Structure 1
């Protein structure tokens, strides 16, 4: 299947998207450890290593360490928009946090990111975790799918016209245009939406029942790399007994 020049492998009806979370055998030679990281060094590491080069909001942070050196980072924090929290979980909006940065050193083997994040999330208390894959960077969210996150479509999918972002005169994030002026506008690219829950099994089920983000069928509704209008129907759901 091809969508907007991105290749999606064809899978049979019974095949699973999940990939093995155990690292290749050669990584057993390394002393890999996932442990909590304080907010300040986590923000500094994210600013230095993540492609956005901005400090994120941090409620929880975890580092992936190899021989005491950080080779990976995942941070989770309060979303910038309270509307997002209320929309994702109206019953308990404060339970919604965003996985806002994920970095793994290029030298690490395949599947390191999913192995790392899955172990980090086991240490997070009960929350609804939302995250976005940035299509402007060629990210479609395969790491999240490997961890069985639920796929919720893409941003602005029920908006008929695309949003426009200002291009700042000095470069950087579009919000800089309000301070430095702008030289034009560009169509906003969609981001792919994913979510999951943390806690013990009972807590995860309770939070999943409260989450209003859908769980969609990726194979039926693959994400685009340009704005595309789509109104979700019952046929798009992943078969988890959801109501529209």
Structure 2
């Protein structure tokens, strides 16, 4: 069963179980329940960058939400992640949903592909060189805040693979697709790299 759960429950679980171990912003969250046991959590929230929202949907940035955490217990059967997310998406209001697969953790976004998310390439693909990050001294501080709060060294970003989809009924989805400014590419023809690579579209 997939149903909404309290945001505090979702944030606490993903902080403990998700590989990032950080609480995300949460606007919508759903649990995967099996015999009343919570076996998975997916959260959707406002992206941390308003610039990102404007880039995705300049005409109405508020329509953009991010699938920012997904955790499913390892005891669940194969393909539980895609089954879970598909049912959570159906419970969302009409939105453009973006998400990223982080190649620095070995992720390429196979769950999103199985869900027929559209593939939009990778972050910073128009740059010649990778973007630098200040690595914070305090591991609980996000890298974007490290410069102001004390940083240890600089690391260069690996690409994150960009995916997007739309929710709502057929008319809603068609309308939102017309608003979305992210690309709809073929990941087979333009596979995402594991290290920074420039590719101008």
Superposed counterparts of 1:151-162, under 5 Å: 151-162=119-130
Superposed counterparts of 1:224-239, under 5 Å: 224-232=193-201
Does the alignment pair 1:171 with 2:176? no
User: Take 2:139 and 2:46, find their aligned partners in 1: how far apart are those partners?
Assistant: 26
Query: Which residue number in structure 1 is paired with residue 179 of structure 2?
Result: 210
User: Take 1:174 and 1:122, find their aligned partners in 2: how far apart are those partners?
Assistant: 33
Superposed counterparts of 1:119-138, under 5 Å: 119-138=87-106
Query: Which residue number in structure 2 is paired with residue 34 of structure 1?
Result: 2
User: Structure 1, residues 141-194: CA drift from partner, whole Å, max 9, x if none?
Assistant: 000000000000000001111111112234354245335522321111110000
Query: Which residue number in structure 2 is paired with residue 76 of structure 1?
Result: 44
TM-score calculated relative to the size of structure 2: 0.96
User: Structure 1, residues 34-84: CA drift from partner, whole Å, max 9, x if none?
Assistant: 001121111111111111111111110000011111110100000111111
**Structure 1 runs not aligned, ≥5 long:** 1-32, 233-244
TM-score calculated relative to the size of structure 1: 0.79
Query: Which residue number in structure 2 is paired with residue 111 of structure 1?
Result: 79
User: Take 1:170 and 1:127, find their aligned partners in 2: how far apart are those partners?
Assistant: 35
Larger Rg: 1
Query: Which residue number in structure 1 is paired with residue 166 of structure 2?
Result: 197
Equivalent pairs, count: 200
User: Take 1:167 and 1:80, find their aligned partners in 2: how far apart are those partners?
Assistant: 18
User: Take 2:45 and 2:152, find their aligned partners in 1: how far apart are those partners?
Assistant: 32
